[in-house]
Amino acid sequence: MKALIQRVSEARVVVAGDVVGEIGQGLLVLLGVEKPDTEAEAKKLAQRVVGYRVFADDEDKMNLDVRDIQGSLLVVSQFTLAADTHKGRRPSFSSAALPEQALSLYQKFCDHAALADVHVQTGEFGANMQVHLVNDGPVTFELRV
């Protein structure tokens, strides 16, 4: 399981012209689920994302996490993060979790993040989504468990 996190001043997800998830300051989380991933890993990664210090303190150092700034998460499932791109000209998705497993672990990730006292918004699993964001920095990190 991996998460691509982007520090944002705002972000939203649109499906078929309708906004389905929207946040102000916080983290856009693109979440990729792979076949061997478990609920324990979803919990661990959610805790890691929530506690990851990427927001500036009074001395302009990255010492604050999303809770410290009363920020939010916008979590978007993105199976393409599970792609193998090591060879060829076309990605392989053989390591990506099947939709049923991916949906379950995506939901568990969101649940564990919300239990950590963070406001969580989501995209729509499996939908064609347009993600709009203002990347603050830009600041982007890939986290894995």
Question: What number of CA atoms fall less than 13 Å from residue 6's CA on the CB side?
Answer: 21
Structure-token pair, residue 10: 């705002």
Report residue 113 CA to chain centroid gap: 10
Set 25, 55, 70, 79: catalytic member: 79
Q: Which of 27, 11, 112 is nearest to 69 (CA)?
A: 27
Q: Is 55 a catalytic residue?
A: no
Set 6, 47, 55, 78: catalytic member: 78
Q: Is 47 a catalytic residue?
A: no
Q: Is 78 a catalytic residue?
A: yes
Residue 50 burial (CB < 10 Å; 0-12/13-18/19+)? buried
Q: Which residues are catalytic?
A: 78-80
